[in-house]
Amino acid sequence: MAVAEVHSLGRIPRKRVDKFAERRTELAEAAFVTLAELGYARTSLREIAQNSAFTHGVLHYYFTDKVDLIICCVRLYKARCVTRYDRIIAEAGSYDSLCDGFLDALAATMRDEAQLHRLWYDLRAQALYEPGLRVDILDIDHSLEAMIWRVLDRFAEVTGVATPIPSALAYATFDGLFQQCLLQYLAGDDWAVTRMVANARLTLEALYRGETETRRGS
């Protein structure tokens, strides 16, 4: 029996469940370090254990298997990312300040948390192969879409222009840009972030300013 399954029985006292969940989070947090560095396929539970204060036995005690652990990690990611822009949204009062705030945050995220997002794209790719990951990955994907939509909603509020595209398309665009930038950035392209920001700004202006004049270029 894996104790990891116990917490779903319902007969276990509240306190224990909490403690159990806490420990899982703690372990997932520790696993994150290695996972972000090596990626899904190259990370072994032993490696995770070695890079943390835990034994590899304890990982198996708290998680039924590797996928269970990874999913738990991914949920952490979700909780972490999903509110990233909310403060900016709340504070900014004009299109310009909102735009600057959002784009600055975008750039900062790329620069400060490239590893974390690299893991996210890795896991989303693995979900294409592992059905067991799909539900959770799709769930997070929707949360991220909602997060982007909250930003755009604020733009709409501030500008008085209803966002003219569905949230899925908006998310696809910003996600596409971010992912494109990430690879270039990791490959050492110093201008990648700048280009991403420029393209994001372009997108926002097309949406809320109706400006569409540009020249071709990447």
Structure tokens at 114: 């490239």
Contacts of 166 (CB under 8 A, 6+ apart): none
* Span 15-74, contacts to a copy of itself by CB under 8 A: 38-42, 46-47, 49-50, 56
Among 109, 143, 159, 173, binds a copy of itself (CB under 8 A): 173
Q: Identify residues 117-146 at the interface with a copy of itself (CB under 8 A).
A: 118, 121-122, 124-129, 131, 134, 137-138, 141, 145
Nearest CB to a copy of itself, comparing residues 29 and 166: 166
Nearer to a copy of itself, 68 or 141 (CB): 141
Output 13 or 131, the one with its CB closest to a copy of itself: 131
Residue 109 tokens, joined:
């995220």
CB of 56 to DNA, least distance (A): 5
Instruction: Give CA–CA dist 37/51, Å, rounded.
Output: 11
Q: Are 20 and 7 in contact (CB under 8 A)?
A: yes
Q: Are 63 and 84 in contact (CB under 8 A)?
A: no
Instruction: Give the nearest distance from C-beta 53 to a copy of itself in angstroms.
Output: 11
Which partner, a copy of itself, DNA, none, binds residue 118 by CB below 5 to 8 Å per kind? Answer: a copy of itself
| Nearest Cα residue to 79 out of 3, 132, 41, 25 | 25
Return the one option of a copy of itself, DNA, none that residue 122 interacts with (CB less than 5 to 8 A, by type).
a copy of itself
Q: What is the CA radius of gyration of the chain?
A: 20
